[in-house]
Structure 1
Amino acid sequence: MRSARPGVSSVSARWGHRARSRGARGLIAVLALTLLAGATACGTDTGATATQQSGPATAVLANLDPVPIGPEPTPSLPTTVRSFDGTDVTVSSADRIIAVDRSGSLAQVVWALGLGPKLVGRSNSASFPSVLQVPNVAGGNGSLNVESVLALRPTVFLTDTTTATPAIREQLRAAGVTVVYFDPKRTMDGVVPQIEAVAAALGVPAAGQALADRTRDEVSAASAAVPAQDPPLTMAMLYLRSTAITMMAGPGSGGDALIAALHGRDASAVAGLTEPFTAITSEAMIGAAPDVLIVMTDGLKSVGGVDGLEKVPGIAQTPAGRNKRVIDMSDAVLLSFGPNTGRVIQALNEAVYGTKPA
């Protein structure tokens, strides 16, 4: 539709030779205004015009499992590391590892370091295929079950300062569990440092450096392949659990970091959101006017797919709703911010823009 203006000029030129005798200049003006109005109307939904992409799509990773950097390494232990809670922790054994956080990234790092066989406990957010048989020590709401942790006799417990509340931290300390805490924030800049920190705590710094280098290269390559958009697409990441729970990811959720990596404009910023996840009203959704909606696959299923999502108040009135521009991605990887991050960006790039990897 952006070629409408040149089209008007060429039509005017063809008709101009006959205009003197038949008063066609008036017709030319009407035609020009009509085509110009059409061009303006087509430009209202940037989700349809910016890339000529429309309709739903799934961002697919061929393998949801993190790829191990090599064979299982032999940890060099004991080692003492600085935990994110400010304490020094000595890890003497990595024979029985529990890794629990709200994004599942810690378990992904353990697996990618080649220490998957040592993983004896996880959270429900760590749901990639290879760990589904590993016991889950977090409840349905993601809260830690200390009794389940103790029953697995971990030699080291990896978690973060958000997942483990102060009360749970005290219970773990009193039980004598070796716990290393990590930064709960999920950002692009934090992906590589977290890999290095986990590797240091488990006594495998060489494997950690190799995994960090590979992940950094993959993220850089995937980010460089994202096409620039002018204007940028406005994107919203939604958390869905049936039509009763519709939340928009905001600052600090990880969704904002992925949208930035995709060169998008974050709809949560347009809506003025300040929390990581906020229940959003139909008025705020319409006002944010996202061109693209990014959702987790299970969340989309919970509302009845794309057709069901359009029944959520406000969705149908957005450019994304009108164009059915909905991108879904597996819950196991979308907000993991671990070793899969480069592949996540690449898959989202292809789903949003139709960009194929080189």
Structure 2
Amino acid sequence: MVTAGCGSQDDAATSGQTGRSTATLASLDPQPIADNPAATLPVTVTGADGVAVTITDTSRIVTADQYGTLTETVYALGLGKNLVGRDTASGFPAVASVPDITPGGHSLSAEAILNLRPTVFLTDTTIGPRAVQEQLRAAGVPVVFFDPTRTLAGVPGQIQAVADTLGVPAAGAELSRRTADQIAAATAMAPTDGAKPKIAFLYMRGTAITMMAGPGSGADSLIEALGGVDAGTEAGLTQKFQPITSEAMVASAPDVFLMMSNGLDSIGGLDGLAKIPGVAQTPAGRNQRVVDMQDSVLLSFGPRTGDVLAALATALYTPSAQ
């Protein structure tokens, strides 16, 4: 589904589109693959930090990572009723009543987590401080670290790793297959003829934080799957996210900006975006061409990834009704 705006130019690189197109999902909640599958426990797994952890109880699960991936995966496995704590990035309606353990953004509080009496804590290195995660371990909570890398290729494996940790490998295999099939179908939506659109992912939180994504950000993986070229990488950026400069923006010369909806709104929408250094001198800036999507789903790289890609492809390539 897509809602689109109209700009003033008619030379955009993607289907003649201009203005803002908001990609939306039919449902913001992941679709569980099962209804509270029975766990086979105990399970011993080796986390991404190399530490072997034994899980004997999954009745009280707490999840925390920068993108909300782990919460989404637990819910899609059918274990949403077992979630007793989650991160701020996990913004879908079904977990709105689950306590947010990172209300300040990305900082963990050992006391807040321990008060939830977790039987297992799923996390990665995108969130911290690490001392809190180690403090939880010292208190006897099984803490499992997962791979923090976010790529399309890694989605099925990440799902299976979470499922194996929680003692539901069969549900994990089924969810991995469904997700991989959805990703393949969405990827096939990208046109194979004509020039590939150059797309720049911009991360913004007001005018104080304005970043462009580069290699390894996760956005580059989405852009490639959408049949585009990552403008930040093409322009020579070397970091996952770098502060926007006029020179870098002009050099990247994107046809389309990809953004989180709240980020775009935080700078005043299209009018505010035009004031960011270098934006007005790019094809995307001249056409006010932006594709945006809800913050909590755009870079989650979880079981809804195929749906995310399909919605983005529709927003990117389908001409808006005039």
TM-score, normalised by the number of residues in structure 1: 0.84
Instruction: Give the aligned partner of residue 158 of structure 1.
Output: 122
Counterpart Cα distance in 2 of 1:82 and 1:47: 53
Instruction: Give the aligned partner of residue 206 of structure 2.
Output: 242
Counterpart Cα distance in 2 of 1:150 and 1:157: 10
| Cα deviation, residue 141, structure 1 | 3.1
AA aligned to 2:220 is: D
Identity, in percent, stands at 55
Return the structure number with greater helix share: 1
| Cα deviation, residue 164, structure 1 | 3.6
Counterpart Cα distance in 1 of 2:193 and 2:142: 48
Structure 2 unaligned residues grouped into runs of 5+: 1-8
Query: For each residue in 1:198-251, what CA deviation from the matched residue of structure 2 results, as whole angstroms up to 9, or x when unmatched?
Result: 000001111111101100100011111211253211100111111221101122
- Select which of 235, 239, 243 maps to 1:279: 243
Counterpart Cα distance in 2 of 1:106 and 1:345: 19
| Cα deviation, residue 50, structure 1 | 4.7
| Cα deviation, residue 270, structure 1 | 2.5
AA aligned to 1:211 is: L
Larger Rg belongs to: 1
Distance 1:340-1:269 versus aligned 2 partners, 3 A rule: same
Question: Is the CA contact (8 Å cut-off) linking 2:65 and 2:125 kept in structure 1?
Answer: no
Distance 1:212-1:46 versus aligned 2 partners, 3 A rule: farther
Distance 1:132-1:189 versus aligned 2 partners, 3 A rule: same
Counterpart Cα distance in 2 of 1:80 and 1:140: 32
Distance 1:49-1:190 versus aligned 2 partners, 3 A rule: closer
Counterpart Cα distance in 1 of 2:74 and 2:130: 25
Distance 1:50-1:336 versus aligned 2 partners, 3 A rule: closer
SS at match of 2:32: coil
Question: Is the CA contact (8 Å cut-off) linking 1:290 and 1:318 kept in structure 2?
Answer: yes
AA aligned to 1:218 is: Q
Structure 1 unaligned residues grouped into runs of 5+: 1-44
- Select which of 26, 39, 45 maps to 1:81: 45
AA aligned to 2:290 is: V
SS at match of 2:127: coil
Counterpart Cα distance in 1 of 2:67 and 2:11: 29
Matched, 1:321 2:298: no
| Cα deviation, residue 317, structure 1 | 1.2
Instruction: Give the aligned partner of residue 52 of structure 1.
Output: 16
Matched, 1:192 2:171: no
Question: Is the CA contact (8 Å cut-off) linking 1:349 and 1:355 kept in structure 2?
Answer: no
Distance 1:122-1:183 versus aligned 2 partners, 3 A rule: same
Query: For each residue in 1:274-294, what CA deviation from the matched residue of structure 2 results, as whole angstroms up to 9, or x when unmatched?
Result: 111111101210111110001
Counterpart Cα distance in 2 of 1:47 and 1:76: 58
TM-score, normalised by the number of residues in structure 2: 0.93
Higher relative contact order (CA 8 A, sep 6+): 2
